[in-house]
Each structure stands twice: as C-alpha cells, then as structure tokens.
A and B are shown apart, each in its own frame.
Chain A
Amino acid sequence: MSEVIVITSGKGGVGKTTTTANIGAGLAQAGNKVVVIDADIGLRNLDVVLGLENRIVYDIVDVVNKVCRLKQGLIRDKRYEGLYLLPAAQTKDKTAVTPGEMFELCNDLKEHFDYVIIDCPAGIEQGFQNAIAGAQKAIVVTTPEISAVRDADRIIGLLEAKGLHNPMLIINRIRQDMVKRGDMMNIDDMIDILAIDLLGVVPDDESIVISTNKGEPVISDDNSFAGKAFSNISKRILGEEVPLLDLDVDESMLSKLRKLIFGK
C-alpha cells in the first residue's frame, strides 16, 4: 500500500527540496508515516531546509554500506509525528550509491512507511538515475521560466523511458501579477506545452525564504499563501479533491490587510 515518490525537475534551484520537505510534513500531518530521502549526495540540503542539520549522525551511504542499521540512519522530526529524514552524505559523491542499492533501500523503507519521498538532485546523470531507481511515481517541479520548462520536458521524457509513466506537475513560484501583465507563462501555457497532469501551483512567496531561514516547513505557517498551496498538494496526493488555490487573491494585499488589522 505504501508509495515511493520521487521529486525531480532537471534544472536546479526550482524548489525540489522545499517541495520535498513540505510534502513530507504535509503527509505526516495527515497521520501518515513518512520518510524523506535526500538523494543529492555531496550537496546535501534537505536537512537544513527541515532544520534537522544538527542531529545527523549517519547518512544514506552509511545505511547502504551497512555501517549502521537502517533505523539508526533515520532522523525523527520531533515537530511532525511520523516524519523521518534519511540525509545524504556530504563528503562522498553520487557514485557512492548505485541504482540497485537505491532500489533495495526503497523496498526496505516501504515496509516501515506509508510514503517514501525522494528529493532528486538536479541533472540527468547518476544522481538522477539513483533517485528514480526505487520510485513508482514521479512529481516534476518547474517554474514559469523557459529554461525550467525545457528541462522539465526533458525529465518527463526520461521518466517515461524508465517506466515512470504519468508524472505529475507542480508549478512553483508563479507570480500572478506578471501573468496578468502577460510577462509570465500561465498555468495553461505550461500544461499545454508539457502535456502532463497538474498536481498543484505554488505562488512565489516571501514566506518560503523566511521559513527556510528558520528551518521550519512553510506548510505550518497558517498565514502563508505558499504554505496553503503545499497543504493542498499533500491532500491531492492523499486522493482528496482540492480546487486550485485562487491566485487572484493578491497575497500582498492580504498581508497588508493583516498588518493593518493585527499590526503584524
């Protein structure tokens, strides 16, 4: 019954790690046992985004090489009941783990968790091949930029070729003010080009930077527009039908209003 989902994008810096952290937290909040895996060996980051960097003892390479037991490698997130992190190794490189080992690792984790969420590194080389090896589903993250959409398209092709059919799309960092001016591709433009199903849209939001600064997933911030979007995405993964966030509600207006009323 458990699912292994890889979060990928091709291009770097579009929000894979933030997406992984928030989906992980969102699924755990809904009462699931979730493990998020940082597959970006050599450039680990999911730990800092989740605020768990000080608690790392072992990492994914230690687990795969049986330096420690699987359970010892997992870091429990005390804020979210049921959420665990398997961090990447920082001093090794992508070749420290093989796709076969990754496949086995995912199978082992599936026995203990409802959801295994894998944060895929940028690129299409071995790091990518490792990250997708054990996955049954894929989520492709992109932003409304020509380079990100192009890379997303390439990744969709590669996923299909590897048997990961029907990947779902998350459009990150959309700015409705620019969309309205005609200076940014809108949701339909991107779905039209990529021809895959939409899982969710996340607005460009300052609260992401702030929450990442603090090491707290933005999904816990009830006032955050982006947090709400990630919450909706998690619900859709769980099979709930949630309408798309109304992007026309001007987020800056909302925060201005909040400031006016609550002085915050």
Chain B
Amino acid sequence: MTFLKKVGKNEDNSKNVAKERLKLVLIHDRANISPRFLEMIKGDIIRVISDYVEIDEEGIDVKFTRTRRESDNTPIPALIANIPIIKMKDRLMD
C-alpha cells in the first residue's frame, strides 16, 4: 500500500508543490512590471504574428524569467513567449 502510494504520489509530493509555486511567484517578482504591461506586449505580439500564422490566442503565454547567455553562461533576464500555432496562413505560400 505504501509502495503504491509512493509511485502514484510522485507529482504532488511537497517539494514539487513548492517548486511550482516558487516558479510562479518568481515570474512576477522578476518582471517587476505590471500584468498590464505584459498584456500590452502580448497584444502587440499577437498583432504582428497574426499576419503570418493563425494562433491560438487563448493559449498564448508571455512571461519574464531568467536564463543563461549561451556565449559565457551568465544569467540574464529573458522574455519567453509561448505561442501555439493553429495553422500557417496561405499568404506565406506565394
């Protein structure tokens, strides 16, 4: 029983809960910008990209995070946008 519990529980052990909560909190801490500002960026990105592809506007996710620069591995802030594409627009074909 304990064994089964262990196997099934892997995802919601308290460490993973902490990690996920922390990640979410840090996104906002790091950004140091209002959610409205992120919404504005999001809106502009949608407008530009929509000319070329049809995107899932509901699923778009824009966030501030930290990453490492490839050349020398120093940590730098990064703007990461996850944009689900539904399909490419025809005008790209010609």
Total number of B residues with any Cβ neighbor in A under 8 Å: 19
Are B13 and A182 in contact, with the CB atoms below 8 A?
Answer: yes
Are A154 and B29 in contact, with the CB atoms below 8 A?
Answer: yes
Q: Which B residues are CB-close (under 8 A) to A149? A: 22
Give B1-41 as 1s and 0s: 1 = Cβ < 8 Å from A's Cβ atoms.
Answer: 00000000010011110110111011001100000000000
Nearest neighbor of A182 in chain B, beta-carbon distance = B13
Known: A165-B74, A166-B74, A195-B66. A184 touches B26 (CB 8 A): no
Are A185 and B29 in contact, with the CB atoms below 8 A?
Answer: no
Counting chain A residues whose Cβ lies within 8 A of the other chain, the interface size class is: 20 to 34
Known: A182-B10, A196-B75. A189 touches B15 (CB 8 A): yes
Q: Which B residues are CB-close (under 8 A) to A264? A: none
Shortest Cβ gap from A151 to chain B (Å): 10
CB under 8 Å from chain B, chain A span 124-139: none
Shortest Cβ gap from B11 to chain A (Å): 10
Is residue A32 contacting chain B, with contact meaning CB distance below 8 A? no
Looking at chain B's contact residues, the main secondary structure is helix
Nearest neighbor of B12 in chain A, beta-carbon distance = A182
Are B22 and A193 in contact, with the CB atoms below 8 A?
Answer: yes
The interface of chain B, by Cβ under 8 A from chain A, is 10, 13-16, 18-19, 21-23, 25-26, 29-30, 66-68, 74-75
Nearest neighbor of A156 in chain B, beta-carbon distance = B75
CA distance A87 to B13 in the complex (A): 44
CA distance A80 to B86 in the complex (A): 68
Q: Which A residues are CB-close (under 8 A) to B74? A: 165-166
